[in-house]
Every structure is written in structure tokens, then in C-alpha cells.
Amino acid sequence: MDQTIRRPIKPKLLNPGDGIGIITPASPMLVEKLHKGVDYLKALGYRTFLGEHVYDSYGYLAGRDRDRVNDLHFMFENPEIKAIISSRGGYGTPRLLDKINYNLIAANPKIFVGYSDLTALQLAIWRHTGLVTFSGPMVAVEMGKGIDPFTGQNFWPLLTQTNVDGFFSRKTEKPVKVIKQGKAKGTLLGGCLSLINSVIGTGHQPAFDGAILILEDVGEEPYRIDRYLAQLQSAGVFTQISGLILSQFINCEEKEKDPTLTLDEIFTNYFGSLSIPIVKNFLYGHIPKKFTIPIGVKVEIDTSVPVVKLLEAPVESNVS
């Protein structure tokens, strides 16, 4: 299987007054939250464009596959739109991956934002195009609830400027904890663990050679986390990466009080023998206060500090 290591394509940075397209590629969202999120974007001075099928519903999906794909294609193709932000995650994005025109995306590189179920799409986009995307706040989730100030402060600058000095170094209530000492540089790849697994062994799996892998998840009991990590291990991912960031695993405890392993025990089982820098408690995932992760940029882990450092901006200046 060809898993070509891509050179990054960086989208142009976002300017005041630019158009932002909003799509629902996974599950239906709460309309009230969407409208609040749209108001938030307008208050910041951006123009908003809703996908034709943004309100669609088809069971647990936000519409038929072809319609969700068409909205995605339209937003990338429309020259008025400079950034695309998903309304929410949920379920169903992996169904779209075989139906997407990646050449269209590569020819019209834009800021693309989402997380959770959107992880599968972001990794597929990276695999096929090399476009840097953003695992960050969504319109009918964080923006629709009243975005946490920390989250906003660590989101918008990534989209609107090329100076990334000091990013990820801001102090948080949960400091990063060192699991394995070391220092490494690599391309930042990952996201929601269960969705990373959905592309493993498919034509949408990216090359993990030398990557810094970042993992998070929500609502997955320990035995499921174990299963996902077993698949990544069997696929050789852990022997390919140069560093590992374990982020927030929310509501991932055993629900039925059955005999279980803790997440720390599971992590030790899989990562204890690795000779790469590993940190945990990084502030990213299904939490209100978090960093935004640019998928596809160079980062560095240095456990002597400890710090995760951005080595390059995820966007390019509009000035050629």
C-alpha cells in the first residue's frame, strides 16, 4: 500500500472579512447551537456560508453520503470561502472517504477545521494531498456553547498569523507529564484514537514514519482503548513514530465495574518498551479548554522542559 510521505501544503491565513463555510459531514447538530456559533463568527467579522445540506438528517447521519460530500466539495471549490469549519462530529465521516475528490482539495487548499469523527477525514486529506488541517473547535459545539477563552486564544492565531513562537507553552491546570524521556522532531499526526483506527489498513492511511503521534478519545471503555492500540501496534505504527503525545481520554473508565485495567496500565503495556519521548496530559481532545492541533506540521517534543513546540506555522501569508 502506497503511504507516500507528503510535503505539506499550507492554506492561506484567514483575514478579517473572509468567508467561512460551515458543513456537517458527520452527525446532525443542534440547530440552536449552530445559529449561536454562526453569530459568534459574524461578531468576529467573518462572513458565513452554510452548506446546502448542513441541516439534513438521515438517522444518525447528517444526510446522505453524496450530499455531505457535495457540501465538502462545494466549500473547497468556492473562491469566496477561505476556511471551512465543521458544525460537529459524531458518526459517519469514514463513509465519505472513498467518495471524495482529493484532487479538487489539493487544487483549492483551504483552512479546514474539525475534530473527533473528522479525524478520519483529516488523515485522509493529509494522505492524499498533504494539506495541513486543524483539529480544533467546531461551530455547533464549542462556538455554539460559548467558546472557552483559552480555546479561542489558542485557535484563532493559528489561522490568522504566521508567528507561532510560544505556542503550546502556555501554563495549564494539568501540566504535561513525562512518561519516557527524550527529544524528537517529526510531523504531527493523529487525533481521536478510534477514528485513527478507521483508516488503518485502508488506502487512506497516512505514512507514520518519523511522525509525532497525538492521541485522545471520549466515551471508550478501557477494553476498547486496548483494542484500538492493539491494532495500531499490529500495523507497525508504534515502531515508526519518533514521539508520542497522550492527550485527554474523557469518560474512558469501565462502566460496569467489571474486572479491568486502568488506562495507565494499558499505556504501559503498549508503550513501556518504546525508546521514544512520550508525554501525557496534553490539553487537547473532547474538553472545553484545549489547544488546537495543526495536523501535518513539524513539532518537537523535549521532555527536559517538558514542552511540545511548533516548529513552523500551519498557514502561509497571503503576500506572495
The predicted structure's pLDDT at residue 4:
59
Q: How many CB atoms lie within 10 A of CB 280?
A: 20
- Across the chain, where does the E strand assignment appear? 19-23, 47-50, 81-86, 111-114, 133-135, 177-180, 183-192, 212-218, 243-250, 278-280, 293-295, 298-302, 307-310
Cβ proximity of 123 and 130 under 8 Å: no
Q: Rounded CA gap, 316 and 14, in Å?
A: 9
The predicted structure's pLDDT at residue 256:
76
The predicted structure's pLDDT at residue 257:
77
Q: What is the pLDDT of residues 261-317, one digit of tens each?
A: 999 999 999 999 999 999 999 999 999 999 999 999 999 999 998 889 999 999 999
The CATH class for the domain spanning 177-310 reads: alpha beta
Q: What is the pLDDT of residues 128-187, one digit of tens each?
A: 999 999 999 999 999 999 999 999 999 999 999 999 887 887 667 678 899 999 999 999
Active-site positions read 116, 216, 286
Cβ proximity of 117 and 89 under 8 Å: yes
Total count of residues recorded for the chain: 320
**Looking at the domain that runs over 19-160, which CATH code has it been given?**
3.40.50.10740
Q: What is the pLDDT of residues 195-213, one digit of tens each?
A: 999 999 999 999 999 999 9
Maximum C-alpha span of the chain: 60
Cβ proximity of 202 and 227 under 8 Å: no
pTM: predicted TM-score of the whole model, two decimal places? 0.95
Mean model confidence pLDDT for the chain: 95
**Cross-strand partners of 134:** 113, 294
Q: Rounded CA gap, 15 and 42, in Å?
A: 13
Which cell numbers in the block locate residue 301? 517534543
Nearest alpha-carbon partner for 241 in 187, 281, 304: 187
Domain ranges within the chain, ordered by starting residue = 19-160, 177-310
Q: How many CB atoms lie within 10 A of CB 4?
A: 10
